[in-house]
Structure 1
């Protein structure tokens, strides 16, 4: 998602544009990976030293509710990334070392379930966790 689109979504839903919200969106775009609230806070405190976790969590929750960012959980911690630009149904491979994501262009649900009888699937999420080639090379496992 582009910054302009995210700011339009905020405005359309009655939320103000702020420098902090713009910076947060820039961080997600620049990093292009899943980030923890702590990582977002650390990046933002360079420009806003007094910034609190409450402000970060409030905006992360707002951005997720509006579909600007998407969240997942691993190792007991919530992590966030900018929402994908693609309108095509897809899933992700997620590196648990660096948070980088790769798109999985097939849907495993089709192979697992097909179309269940007497049940309408309205949504699902499928993620595979591991190490990307860059992180695997650093640890000597590839």
Structure 2
């Protein structure tokens, strides 16, 4: 996914294409495996965009998450982190709480659960497993 693809999609959906939004999108596209907090994004933007507020960053992150451009993960320290959405098929994540490494879990735990949802029709879901990667677990 390129920054231009994302910007075209947002424009088609009626959203403004501000310089700040473009810069935030480019930050995620340039660093597809990195996870950023809202403060990380703000700190990365303030030098080039000194008038950008933290509120603007939060609104942009919300918009990008709503359009499935980025995904949120909640590390153990309670601070939401965002990364470029995976474009792979349906999958979930294993997240190391020590080093932050994110691995893909291809099987879906929901599909293997024998549960009665009482007529509830799931549209989407998330399943992240937090723990220690092999390198951090052996320390």
Q: Same fold (TM over 0.5)?
A: yes
Partner of 2:87: 85
Partner of 1:55: 56
Q: How many residues of Structure 1 are paired with residues of Structure 2 in the alignment?
A: 136
CA distance, structure 1, for counterparts of residue 47 and residue 97 of structure 2: 25
Q: Where in structure 2 are the equivalents of 1:109-120 lying within 5 Å?
A: 109-111=110-112, 113-114=113-114, 116=116, 118-119=118-119, 120=121
CA distance, structure 2, for counterparts of residue 70 and residue 44 of structure 1: 19
1:21-63 Cα offsets, whole Å, 9 max, x none, are 1211121123322210000011111212342111111111111
Partner of 2:4: 4
> Structure 1 stretches of 5 or more lacking a match?
none
Partner of 1:30: 30
Question: Are 1:108 and 2:87 an aligned pair?
Answer: no
TM-score (norm 1): 0.80
TM superposition shift of 1:129: 1.7
User: Is the Cα contact below 8 Å between 1:34 and 1:100 reproduced in 2?
Assistant: no
Structure 1 residues 99 and 27, CA gap change in structure 2 (3 angstroms): farther
SS at match of 2:93: strand
Partner of 2:19: 19
Over aligned residues, Cα RMSD in angstroms?
2.3
1:94-117 Cα offsets, whole Å, 9 max, x none, are 233454422111112233x13636
CA distance, structure 1, for counterparts of residue 71 and residue 85 of structure 2: 5
Structure 1 residues 2 and 49, CA gap change in structure 2 (3 angstroms): same
TM-score (norm 2): 0.81
SS at match of 1:125: coil
